[in-house]
Amino acid sequence: MRTVCQEQEVGILKGAAARDHVHLFLSIPPRLAISRLVQLLKGRSAHMLLEEHPELRPQLSSAHLWARGYFCRSSGNVTDAMIMAFLEKQIREDESDY
């Protein structure tokens, strides 16, 4: 994901990976569609994970590693500090699930 973000000139402000989902707080240039970035992130990461861990393939319920959907929100009405606090809370909750 870092590589894709660097290639697309996307800044990673904060990130958290849980067992079944990922949270990313990104600074995306206006020329880049969010849907295109998500496509690149999911595609490249799925390809790399399945190449490095082929044993995961039989465990997948379909041919896809990632779910089709995603949630995105701009930080216009929410401050960056609020988003950072939310991600910190998610990290703590996700860690306590293990």
Cα(39)–Cα(24) distance, integer angstroms:
14
Counted domains in the chain: 1
Q: What is the pTM of this model?
A: 0.71
Question: Cα separation of 78 and 69, whole Å?
Answer: 22
pLDDT for 59 beyond 60: yes
Owning domain of residue 47: 2-96
More reliable by pLDDT, 27 or 47: 27
Residue pair 67/41 in contact by the 8 Å Cβ criterion: no
- 1-5, 23-27, 39-43, 70-74: lowest mean pLDDT where? 70-74
CATH of the domain at 6: 3.30.70.1290
